[in-house]
């Protein structure tokens, strides 16, 4: 009986640890990204109001996904949609300097992964690979397969 109680406590501890890890991932979304996205959107208000509205919707969708409260896991397809929104907002800021192509087998899109496990990696790639560099930033090999549609 004591062993079963210990196993139950261990399982509960493991669950709490996983929940803490997910909360930590959510907290990694850079406040600078939010500030920079809003500034980029603001820059289009007078010059291209239609684009500004579209970017506001994308920003809302990105934040809704990022700060959702249900579920610690998502599918690769959903995570890629979030990344697509993130990159759309970064393109508003950096223009054609952001060039991304992905190669993803369709059969893995339904794979379950930890929520927001890829987005911080992409954000770091943009921050460290693009902000300090002039011109486009691309990977050496550029295979092309489109990201799943946003809607």
Is 66 domain-assigned? yes
Is 150 domain-assigned? no
- Give the orientation angle of helix 76-94 with respect to helix 119-129, to 10 degrees: 20
Is 21 domain-assigned? no
Is 13 domain-assigned? no
pLDDT at residue number 113: 92
Is 149 domain-assigned? no
User: Block means of pLDDT (10 residues each) for the chain, length 151 residues?
Assistant: 78 74 61 83 93 92 77 87 90 86 91 86 81 60 46 46
Is 98 domain-assigned? yes
Per the structure, the complete domain to which residue 108 belongs is given by: 29-129
Is 146 domain-assigned? no
pLDDT at residue number 1: 76
Domain count, the chain: 1
**Of 61, 121, 129, 55, whose CA–CA distance to 98 is shortest?**
129
Is 37 domain-assigned? yes
Query: Are the beta carbons of 121 and 84 closer than 8 angstroms?
Result: no
**Of 19, 29, 40, 3, whose CA–CA distance to 121 is shortest?**
29
pTM: 0.66
């Amino acid at each position: 009986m004591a062993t079963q109680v210990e196993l139950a406590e261990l399982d509960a501890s493991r669950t709490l640890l996983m929940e803490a890890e997910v909360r930590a991932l959510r907290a990694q979304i850079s406040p600078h990204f939010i500030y920079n996205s809003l500034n980029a959107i603001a820059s289009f208000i007078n010059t291209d109001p239609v684009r500004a509205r579209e970017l506001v919707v994308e920003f809302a969708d990105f934040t809704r996904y990022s700060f959702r409260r249900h579920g610690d896991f998502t599918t690769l397809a959903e995570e890629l949609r979030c990344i697509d929104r993130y990159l759309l907002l970064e393109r508003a800021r950096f223009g054609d300097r952001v060039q991304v192509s992905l190669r993803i087998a369709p059969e893995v899109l339904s794979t379950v992964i930890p929520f927001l496990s890829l987005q911080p990696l992409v954000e770091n790639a943009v921050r460290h690979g693009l902000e300090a560099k002039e011109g486009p930033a691309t990977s050496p090999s550029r295979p092309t397969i489109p990201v799943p549609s946003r809607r």
